[in-house]
């Protein structure tokens, strides 16, 4: 249970980090918070030849607004984001989802950039970013590109990151002040990865749903939007009956994998129950 030997590189700037990543091509891993990577190294599921420790790269851990986006640096820690008033104001869905994320020692080290690069399908933050139409900014020695969250998560612990690229920023559209939100999760113990989780945002215009976004985590190989459910809600009066129909649609449209703690039928039931809860809570927060 000890990691294999590696060469340790500690860049002092983003440029140095990108150069090191380019130089070592497919043999290097970026070390941010290390709360997913180091367990995998200890278990020898991965054994990178080179570790590029970006913890001392300045300017990567900011939380700020830029125009109509909340911008989170890749190295921002979960503990900081969980307590951040800027996040609570501009992406309340993220603040609420953080109630379910891990335990304090893990949150003290773990980063948003590392979390999404690891892309665990039962993790909360990918669902938040998919629900909010966030954009992932990635850089390499060749330049920069942006990837929509929905295209960033491509499979089980797989992302659209290419060799030599690293996440530098996450840009989340600022939530409109009248938008309601809710994040609901079922886990075996508090802080565990989700058996199932639903993140939702809703906007009501005169009692009619004018916008709905519903994302699910813990079901399949990645966080996904439930677009059929969103279509069912939009342009209709958001009464209890519609929410119950949406919950049944969630149950029938998810395609869960069975896991040790939750079989397929149970996960479908969770999708239904959590969708109902999330939509009702989000509706109550609409202004």
Partner 1 sequence: MSTVKVNVRVNGTSYAREIEPRMLLCDFLREELELKGTHIGCEHGVCGVCTVLVDGESTRACLLFAVQADGAEVRTVESLAKDGKLSPLQQAFWESHGLQCGFCTPAMLMVATELLEHDPDPSLEDIREAVSSNLCRCTGYFNIVDAVRTAVAMIKEGKQ
Q: Is 12 in the site for partner 1 (CB under 8 A)?
A: no
Q: Which stretch binds partner 1 (CB under 8 A): 37-45, 126-134, 151-159, 260-268?
A: 37-45
Residue identified by tokens 């390499």 is 140
Q: Is 49 in the site for partner 1 (CB under 8 A)?
A: no
Of 1 and 177, nearer to partner 1 (C-beta) is 1
Q: Is 62 in the site for partner 1 (CB under 8 A)?
A: no
Of 80 and 211, nearer to partner 1 (C-beta) is 80
Question: What is the rounded CA–CA span in Å between residue 66 and residue 172?
Answer: 10
Question: What is the rounded CA–CA span in Å between residue 121 and residue 240?
Answer: 30
Of 77 and 171, nearer to partner 1 (C-beta) is 77
Of the candidate residues 14, 23, 46, 53, the single one contacting partner 1 (CB under 8 A): 53
What is the pattern of x (binds partner 1, CB under 8 A) and - over residues 95-134?
Answer: --------xxxx-xx-------------------------
The first and second tokens of residue 101, run together, are 């994320």
How many residues in the chain? 287
Of the candidate residues 25, 43, 156, 231, the single one contacting partner 1 (CB under 8 A): 43
Taking the chain, what is the end-to-end CA distance rounded to the nearest angstrom? 52
% helix, strand, coil for the chain, step of 5: 40, 25, 35
Report which secondary-structure segment, H or E, holds 214: strand 208-217
String of DSSP letters for 150-174: HHHEEETTEESPPTT-EEEEEEEEP
| CA distance to 45, 60, 160, per residue, from 38 (Å) | 10, 20, 22
Q: Is 44 in the site for partner 1 (CB under 8 A)?
A: no
Q: Is 173 in the site for partner 1 (CB under 8 A)?
A: no
The site that binds partner 1 (CB under 8 A) totals a number of residues, namely: 30
For residue 139, the cross-strand partners are 144, 166
Question: What is the rounded CA–CA span in Å between residue 59 and residue 105?
Answer: 23
Q: Is 189 in the site for partner 1 (CB under 8 A)?
A: yes
Q: Is 1 in the site for partner 1 (CB under 8 A)?
A: yes
Of 108 and 211, nearer to partner 1 (C-beta) is 108
Of the candidate residues 30, 74, 79, 119, the single one contacting partner 1 (CB under 8 A): 79
Residues that bind partner 1 (CB under 8 A): 1-8, 10, 31, 34-35, 38-39, 41-43, 51, 53, 55, 79, 103-106, 108-109, 189-191
């Amino acid at each position: 249970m000890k990691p294999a030997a590696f060469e340790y590189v500690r860049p002092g700037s983003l440029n140095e980090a990108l150069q090191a990543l380019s130089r070592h091509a497919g043999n290097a891993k970026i070390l941010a918070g290390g709360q997913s990577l180091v367990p995998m190294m200890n278990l020898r599921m991965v054994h990178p030849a080179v570790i590029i420790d970006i913890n001392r790269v300045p300017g990567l851990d900011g939380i700020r607004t830029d125009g109509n986006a909340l911008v989170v640096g890749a190295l921002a820690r979960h503990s900081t984001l969980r307590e951040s008033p800027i996040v609570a104001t501009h992406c309340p869905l993220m603040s609420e989802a953080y109630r379910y994320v891990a335990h304090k020692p893990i949150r003290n080290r773990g980063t948003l950039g590392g979390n999404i690069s690891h892309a665990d399908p039962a993790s909360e933050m990918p669902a938040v970013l998919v629900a909010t139409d966030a954009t992932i900014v990635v850089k390499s020695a060749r330049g920069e590109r942006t990837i929509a969250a929905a295209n960033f998560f491509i499979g089980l612990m797989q992302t659209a990151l290419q060799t030599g690229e690293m996440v530098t920023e996450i840009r989340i559209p600022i939530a409109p002040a009248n938008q309601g939100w809710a994040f609901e999760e079922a886990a075996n113990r508090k802080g565990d990865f989700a058996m199932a989780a639903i993140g939702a945002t809703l906007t009501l215009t005169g009692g009619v749903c004018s916008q709905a976004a519903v994302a699910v985590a813990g079901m399949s190989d990645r966080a996904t939007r439930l677009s059929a459910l969103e279509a069912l809600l939009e342009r209709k009066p958001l009464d209890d009956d519609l929410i119950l129909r949406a919950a049944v649609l969630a149950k029938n449209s998810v395609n869960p994998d069975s896991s040790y703690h939750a079989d397929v039928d149970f996960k479908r039931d969770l999708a239904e129950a959590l969708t109902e809860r999330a939509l009702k809570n989000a509706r109550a927060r609409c202004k």
